[in-house]
């Protein structure tokens, strides 16, 4: 059968396509073999790529393969991946960058739909065998198969919303008609993946098994022994027009809270699709093409696609290496305890040291609570807790591959700790500090091995914030930096390489933003109004609320240190901030800061005036100005690191593509002129950095 398919393909594609390889295959990305039961196993192994994506060449080859299978049908067709990491990671995002022609996008989507429809219509049992990730277009390919068998490690999802898009190969229609449409819409609106067992419970896959049972499961499907998933009565009721309208209204209200439609149009477009066309599968697929093309050309989608590549850029810095077998963390406060907990969750043996038993107990309790939220099995939770060992006497330092100091921002305290541990560390071990702002040149004084001393600045909360600043000083060795970046990668975090300087990247850029908000508060502007100016710009949380979350004591410490260490104008911390810190009203962690806090939420007044147009510039432009200074001084190596660091370290409005991307879109000269106008009105802290004149 395969010879016949190859012959058919060669007749059709020989002029434009590749010549057969040694096995006779004419495909660069696919392989096919026929088993003893007459079932064709079609394997995707995208050429010169570490992951499978649906590029144009992959889809054109699949179209040709399906044409041959239509003429010579096997007993069944299995589609799976040769990549160890997963099934298909989705579309090739490179194809989305910088597109401006909506008609070309629609034409490409129509071709993609035709290929996927062809797979769906194949008159034999079609089975997607899924392992690892199955995302976006990969899940849409799987949904076009009549059956889906997932391995236990499978993770399925529609992450397109994170790119300002929604599924575009028929997935909106197929998902909402295969499973409960509310569950399908939730997956698409959140971008969150579901693991194999949850996918089975939803009806997204028909069976979950281990690798050694895959062939048996496929044979059972071909024989008709495994029923395919289908919607239940409840799901069919939800697909009725009046019910859809009611549910869509609720979905829209919830989506608008998290993603304002003025900034993020994709959630509303997806809800409109389902509400208006959910009862008509064919029409919904047609309208999906139109909607996807409109979204792809928006600034939001193009900026979020840029954010995707910023993430890939930072991920690429996490050089491959052996993970540390043993991590020793000093300081069981919130940061140190949570760093230790995350290292243990990622499979490392961890000793957590502190002078007192109470913070150690609290740290282990927080770890157990975290694992209960993110763990998918009691065994994984138990094993992670077993790897996290309280260490009241600090004995773990002797066997650690990396020692992380996470004590309060006091250089003298840190020096005393280094003097104690460095003689006990094993040869070659890395000493890292989680300092958020103290230059490493200050901290390395007196170290026996400054070449093995690095900064690893985590962000709070450690379990959710994706960035780690990997901080270099002029005496650090390249091997230590590589080990630090590799460590970040093993923690599933993004390493931003920065040079030692006051505040590094994130805190230095964020501090003028926070202190500027404090000055506005001191002028009498309501805190809710100040925060609204920032959130209307697109920040996930306003600066006053953020200061409370960070801790007013930390904001004051960092602000005073930057004012002392930097040549650039830095606003003086207002008196009320000092009074708050002196009184112990430090923010969320004490239940009272600039806001009162209840159940982890800031208590805000609802009748405050709206922000003026100027307020956003007063907050945001000093942040942009500082980013330009950071670039000019070489603290961060490039615009990508700065934009990625600010997005993944602070949540800077992702739909704007990062602070420097926003400045570029607004116009560097325009931003400089706006700063000059603010300087004339409010003082030297708005003076444009000389670096603006070098940007192009």
Whether residue 88 lies inside any domain: the answer is yes
Mean pLDDT in residue range 236-248: 80
Within this chain, do residues 471 and 519 fall inside the same structural domain, yes or no?
Answer: no
Q: What is the pLDDT of residues 505-523, one digit of tens each?
A: 999 999 999 999 999 999 9
pLDDT for the residue numbered 499: 96
CA-nearest of 115, 180, 171, 126 to 148 is: 126
Q: State the pLDDT at residue 132.
A: 97
- What band does 362 get if pLDDT is binned at 50, 70 and 90? very high
Asked whether residue 54 falls in the same domain as residue 198, the answer is yes
DSSP summary character for residue 356:
S
Q: What φ, ψ does residue 457 adopt, rounded to 5°?
A: -95, 105
Average pLDDT, the chain: 92
Burial class (CB in 10 A: 0-12, 13-18, 19+), 541: middle
Domain check: are 293 and 334 in the same one?
no
Q: What is the mean pLDDT of residues 608-633?
A: 96
Same-domain status, 131 and 199: yes
Class of residue 579 by CB neighbours under 10 A (exposed 0-12, middle 13-18, buried 19+): exposed
Same domain, 218 and 337: no
Distance CA 97, CA 3 (A): 39
Q: Report pLDDT for 14.
A: 30
Do residue 386 and residue 440 come from a single domain? yes
pLDDT above 70: residue 24 = no
pTM: 0.90
Domain boundary among 297, 331, 364: 297
Q: Helix or strand or coil: residue 132? A: strand
Q: What is the CATH number of the domain that holds 346?
A: 3.40.50.720
Secondary structure (H, E, C), 427-496: CCCEEEECCCCCCHHHHCCCCCCHHHEEEEEECCCCCCCCEEEEEECCCCCHHHHHHHHHHHHHCCCEEE
Percentage of the chain modeled with pLDDT above 90: 85
Region label for 287, one of left (φ > 0), alpha (ψ between -120 and 50) or beta (otherwise) = alpha
Cross-strand pairs, 456: 470
How does 565-576 read in b/e, with b if 16+ C-beta sit within 10 Å? bbebebbebbee
| Percent of the residues in the chain that have a pLDDT greater than 70, as a whole number | 95
Find the helix or strand (DSSP H, E) in which 127 lies.
strand 126-130
Q: Are residues 478 and 521 in the same domain?
A: no
pLDDT above 70 (res 9): no
Domain end point (choices 461, 492, 523): 492
Helix or strand holding residue 458 (H, E): strand 453-458
Backbone angles phi, psi at 122, to 5 degrees: -55, 130
**Cα 366 to Cα 361: distance, rounded to the nearest angstrom:** 9
Which of 569, 571, 508, 577 has the alpha carbon at shortest distance from 547?
577
Decide if 516 is inside a domain.
Answer: yes
Residue 19 pLDDT level (bands cut at 50, 70, 90): very low
Helix (H) or strand (E) holding 225: none
| Any domain includes 588 | no
Cα–Cα distance, 141 to 123 (Å, whole number): 16
pLDDT tens digits along 426-456: 999 999 999 988 899 999 999 999 999 999 9
Is residue 325 in some structural domain?
A: yes
Q: Are residues 486 and 563 in the same domain?
A: no
DSSP type of residue 15:
T
Give domain status of residue 648, yes or no. yes
Please choose, from the candidates 430, 439, 440, 441, the residue with its C-alpha nearest in 3D space to the C-alpha of residue 479.
430
What pLDDT does residue 321 have?
A: 85
**pLDDT value of residue 351:** 98
**CATH assignment of the domain containing 561:** 1.10.1040.50
**The domain containing residue 281 runs over which residues?**
2-297
Q: Are 169 and 109 in contact (CB under 8 A)?
A: yes
Residues annotated catalytic, as ranges:
140, 160
Check whether 568 has a pLDDT greater than 80.
Answer: no
Structure confidence at residue 15 (pLDDT) = 30
Distances (CA, A) of 590 to 135, 364, 367: 41, 20, 20
SS3 537: helix
Does residue 303 fall inside a structural domain? no
Q: In the chain, how many domains are there?
A: 3
* 565/670 same-domain check: yes
pLDDT for residue 230 is more than 90:
no
pLDDT the model gives residue 587:
93
pLDDT at 415: 96
Confidence of residue 562 (pLDDT cuts 50, 70, 90): confident
The answer to whether the beta carbons of residues 157 and 187 sit under 8 Å apart is yes
Does the pLDDT at position 10 exceed 70?
no
Mark whether 380 and 488 lie in a shared domain.
yes
The CATH number for 100's domain is 3.90.226.10
**C-alpha 107, offset from chain centre:** 30
| DSSP string for 275-332 | HHHTT-HHHHHHHHHHHHHHHHTSHHHHHHHHHHHHHHHHHHTS---PPPSEEEEE--
Classify residue 312: in a domain, yes or no.
no
Domain co-membership, 569 together with 617? yes
Residues 7 and 54 in one domain: yes
- For 677-684, what is the mean pLDDT? 96
Residue 585 within a domain: no
């Amino acid at each position: 059968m395969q010879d016949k398919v190859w012959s058919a393909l060669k007749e059709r594609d020989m002029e434009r396509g590749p010549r057969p390889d040694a096995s006779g295959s004419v495909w660069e990305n696919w392989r096919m073999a026929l088993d003893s039961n007459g079932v064709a196993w079609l394997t995707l192994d995208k050429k010169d790529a570490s992951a499978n994506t649906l590029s144009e060449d992959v889809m054109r080859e699949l179209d040709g393969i399906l044409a041959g299978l239509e003429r010579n049908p096997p007993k069944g067709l299995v589609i799976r991946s040769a990549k160890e990491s997963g099934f298909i990671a989705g579309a090739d995002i490179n194809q989305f960058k910088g597109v401006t022609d909506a008609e070309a996008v629609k034409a490409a989507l129509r071709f993609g739909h035709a290929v996927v429809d062809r797979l769906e219509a194949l008159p034999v049992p079609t089975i997607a065998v899924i392992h690892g990730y199955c995302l976006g277009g990969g899940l849409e390919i799987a949904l076009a198969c009549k059956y889906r068998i997932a391995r236990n490690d499978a993770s399925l999802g529609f992450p397109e919303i994170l790119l300002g898009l929604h599924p575009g190969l028929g997935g909106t229609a197929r998902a909402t008609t295969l499973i409960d449409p509310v569950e399908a819409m939730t997956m698409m609106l959140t971008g969150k993946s579901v693991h194999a067992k949850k996918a089975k419970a939803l009806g997204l896959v028909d069976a979950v098994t281990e690798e050694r049972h895959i062939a048996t499961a496929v044979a059972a499907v071909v024989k008709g022994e495994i029923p395919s998933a289908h919607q239940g009565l409840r799901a069919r009721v939800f697909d009725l027009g009046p019910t859809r309208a009611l549910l869509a209204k609720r979905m829209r209200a919830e989506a608008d809270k998290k993603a304002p439609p003025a900034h993020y149009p994709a959630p509303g477009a997806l809800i409109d699709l389902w509400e208006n066309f959910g009862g008509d599968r064919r029409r919904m697929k047609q309208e999906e093409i139109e909607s996807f093309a409109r979204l792809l050309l928006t600034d939001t989608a193009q900026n979020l696609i840029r954010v995707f590549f910023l993430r890939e850029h930072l991920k690429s810095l996490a050089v491959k290496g052996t993970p540390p077998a043993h991590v020793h963390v000093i300081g069981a406060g919130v940061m140190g305890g949570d760093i230790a907990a995350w290292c243990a969750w990622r499979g490392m043996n961890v000793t957590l040291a502190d002078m007192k038993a109470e913070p150690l107990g609290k740290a282990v309790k927080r770890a157990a609570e975290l694992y209960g939220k993110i763990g998918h099995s009691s065994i994984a939770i138990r094993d992670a807790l077993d790897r996290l060992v309280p260490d009241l006497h600090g004995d773990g330092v002797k066997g650690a591959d990396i020692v992380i100091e996470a004590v309060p921002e006091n250089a003298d305290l840190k020096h005393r700790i280094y003097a104690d541990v460095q003689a006990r560390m094993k040869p070659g071990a890395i000493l890292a500090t989680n300092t958020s702002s103290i230059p490493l040149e200050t901290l390395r004084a007196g170290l026996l091995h400054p070449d093995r001393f690095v900064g690893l600045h985590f962000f709070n909360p450690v379990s959710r914030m994706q960035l780690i600043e990997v901080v270099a000083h002029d005496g650090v060795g390249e091997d230590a930096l590589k080990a630090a970046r590799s460590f970040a990668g093993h923690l599933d975090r993004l390493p931003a390489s920065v040079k030692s300087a006051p505040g590094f990247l994130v805190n230095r850029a964020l501090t003028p933003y926070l202190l500027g908000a404090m000055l506005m508060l001191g002028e009498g502007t309501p805190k809710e109004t100040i925060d609204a100016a920032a959130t209307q710009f697109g920040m996930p949380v306003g600066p006053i609320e953020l200061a409370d979350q960070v801790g007013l004591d930390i904001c004051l410490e960092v602000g005073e240190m930057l004012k002392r260490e930097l040549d650039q104008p830095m606003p003086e911390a207002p008196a009320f901030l000092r009074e708050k810190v002196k009184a112990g009203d430090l923010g969320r962690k004490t239940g009272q800061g600039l806001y009162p806090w209840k159940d982890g939420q800031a208590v805000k007044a609802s009748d405050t005036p709206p922000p003026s147009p100027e307020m956003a510039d007063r907050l945001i432009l000093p942040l942009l100005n500082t980013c330009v200074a950071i670039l000019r001084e070489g603290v961060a190596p490039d615009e990508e690191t700065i934009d990625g660091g600010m997005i993944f370290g602070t949540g800077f409005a992702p739909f704007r593509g990062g602070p420097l991307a926003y400045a570029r879109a607004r116009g560097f000269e325009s931003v400089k002129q706006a700063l000059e106008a603010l300087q004339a009105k409010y003082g030297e802290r708005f003076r444009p950095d000389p670096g603006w004149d070098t940007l192009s």
